[in-house]
Amino acid sequence: MSRSSKQAVPEVKTMNAELFTLTYGALVVDLLKDLESEEEVNIQLQKIGYNIGVRLADDLLSKNPHIGRCTDSHQIAEVISKQALKAYLGVTAHVSLSNMLPNEFSLILDSNPLVEFVEIPPKYSKLCYSQIICGAIHGALEALHLQVNAVLVSDVPDQTEIRVKFIRILREYMPTGDED
């Protein structure tokens, strides 16, 4: 980690995309073998995504200081679809607001590197393969004090679509003083 005296452009390390896809696939298969129930696997993938997301929020903000505070859900959707997904998965998504309530939006990924070679057999029809992305969105927005619900609406073989719904703004903590 060396830095020049000016603000250094962070180097983008590239890795083999197939290795990434295969690693994720191996993780899902291992979870299926250990837990044997698709619902349990979905819950675990959500948790793993959540832990990743909580840390990704700070990473994205530190690398992109020009991303200002978002004042409405539309801006948040834009940042996630055009910047965050691009930075971390290398893909963009488009935001769909049709048939949505005001606090909801849908992200439809143009392509999904996680499901590159994947076809889900009928016996695992209840598996939400890309659940980790939902978990990451949930974790990252929670780090930004917004409670949301991110649900995988459709996945491989169709386009991956995630519906995000805002629940509430989380209150900021105050440390307890001596008077309490």
Partner 1 sequence: MTLFNFYLFNPKGECICYKEWRRDNPCDIPQEGEFQLVFGMIHSLRSFAQKIVTRDGQQQIKYFKTSSYKMNYMETATGLKFVLNSDPDAVGIPELLREIYSIFVATVIKNPLVDIEAPVASSLFHSKVDELIRAHQSFA
> If binding is defined by CB under 8 A, does position 145 make contact with partner 1?
yes
Q: Does 98 bind partner 1 (CB under 8 A)?
A: no
**Token representation of residue 75:** 């801006």
Provide the residue type at 29 as one letter: V
Q: Decide if residue 157 touches partner 1 (CB under 8 A).
A: no
Residues 6+ apart with CB under 8 A from 33: none
Alpha helices in the chain (DSSP H): 17-35, 38-63, 73-78, 85-89, 131-143
- In degrees, to the nearest 5, what angle opens at C-alpha 21 toward C-alphas 16 and 27? 125
Torsion of CA 50, 126, 23, 58, to 10 degrees: -20
Distance in Å, CB of 133 to partner 1, minimum: 18
Q: How many residues bind partner 1 (CB under 8 A)?
A: 25
Q: Which stretch binds partner 1 (CB under 8 A): 30-38, 112-120, 138-146, 158-166?
A: 138-146
Residues 12 to 71 in contact with partner 1, rule: CB under 8 A: 51, 54-55, 57-59, 61-63, 65, 69, 71
Q: Can you give the binding site for partner 1, defined by CB under 8 A?
A: 1, 3, 5, 7, 10, 51, 54-55, 57-59, 61-63, 65, 69, 71, 143-145, 172-175, 177
